[in-house]
Amino acid sequence: MTPTSRSGLSWPRGIAVNRLVAWGILAWHGGCIVLGNLGCFVTWPIPLIIENEPPVLDQSFEEPGELVSIDSEAQVAWVFASDPDADGTLLFVWQLGSTLLVDEPQRIEVEDDEGGIAVYWRDTVALPYDVDDDGERLRVEIIDPDGGNLELSWPVEVL
């Protein structure tokens, strides 16, 4: 005789089930029948999925899409960007034609209107003077820690 058979439950031989668990299963099954299957649904926590918002352009040296003229004097390109839903470092990937341009982004913290701290990222690159870049595009891709990205580009003329 198994421990559950003493309580009036019949289980296949060799299966010893805790009496409390057995009564819980029977009560759940009985509730399903009485409630017309409304009580039979098993609920699991539903994960909250938050969409990643891409970085936002706050300012740039020229409006995206406007013509950028490079002459023999030192030229720089810069952008200010922020990530509306993350506090990690933004990655800036600059490209002029087939040339990668690299600089270390700077984190800038500013007190906002609500007394909190707004975080902006600034990246500046020097534009090389090369007549072969005439007609190319200057591109920057801004990538946040969660993989969201923002792509900007400017047509280039070399004087």
The domain spans of the chain are 1-43, 56-158
Predicted TM-score (pTM) of this structure:
0.66
Estimate the share of the chain in helix, then strand, then coil, as percent rounded to the nearest 5: 15, 35, 50
Q: Which fold has domain 56-158?
A: Immunoglobulin-like (2.60.40)
Query: Could you tell me if residue 135 is left (phi over 0), alpha (psi between -120 and 50 degrees) or otherwise beta?
Result: left
Write down the pLDDT at residue 14: 42
What confidence tier does 4 reach under pLDDT thresholds 50, 70, 90?
Answer: very low
Q: Which residue has the tokens 């009485």?
A: 34
Q: Which two tokens stand for residue 109?
A: 């913290």
Average pLDDT over all residues of the chain? 79
